[in-house]
Structure 1
Amino acid sequence: MLGQLLGTLEKFRKEDMKISGMEAFIQRSNALQRAEQKAHEERERLRQQECEQIAEQRRRDLTLRARITVKAEEKKLELLFLRWNDHHKKLSNFIRTKAEPPIYYLPKQPLEKDATLLDQQREQHF
């Protein structure tokens, strides 16, 4: 009877070792799954962060490009105004007809009234 009891105890001990081995396996498996899940979440977070950084960089680039375009347009308009102003200063040396479209001319032999007309047109224009 003692032998049977020892045999039964040995049998229970072996089963307990198996179960504890399974529990350790399950614990390791669970720990591995948690580690994989954390790694996946970390990769996903980093990927999301990288996408946000790229979007932010793109937004800054587009803003900068828009500012540069606006400044270039301002400079073009300023240059156009300077050209227009210079052109009209040159035209102010000529007499302009009253008819439309105006014709600019300078007589070969200027008369006194031509000089006064020229002065009046300069004052009127500027």
Structure 2
Amino acid sequence: MTVEKIVCVLCPMGCKIKYRVEDGKIVSVQGNRCPRGLSYLEDELKEPKRIVPTSVKVVNGELPLVSVKTNRPIPKRLIPKFMQLIKQVQAEAPVKVGDVILKNVLDTGVDVIATRTVKRVNSA
């Protein structure tokens, strides 16, 4: 029975959690300073999820790309499919921080939002 380790990233405390799993069940947990640590551990063991930051092409913008991220974590298993999808997405300038660039990505209920503003280029 090996003790495993994981660092909780749900808050800035970064609890170093030690745990043991037997027959697919968590049998011991140490190091989480709040209940969210246990919840994070359970989620990581069942289906890990991540917020994904990336960028999207901008049409008629002062910059060629705008930084974006998922507004909530998506399952890690979907990240490669998500990255293939996001490569095909373009946003029309102007883009403002918080604009929804893509809704309900891969039927997860998660949106992709802009994390910076890109102004429109004035055409001559």
Q: Which TM bucket (shorter chain)?
A: under 0.3
Higher RCO (CA-CA < 8 Å; seq separation 6+) = 2
If each structure's helix is expressed as a fraction of its own residues, which one has the higher value?
Answer: 1
If each structure's strand is expressed as a fraction of its own residues, which one has the higher value?
Answer: 2
Alignment TM-score, normalising by the size of structure 1: 0.19
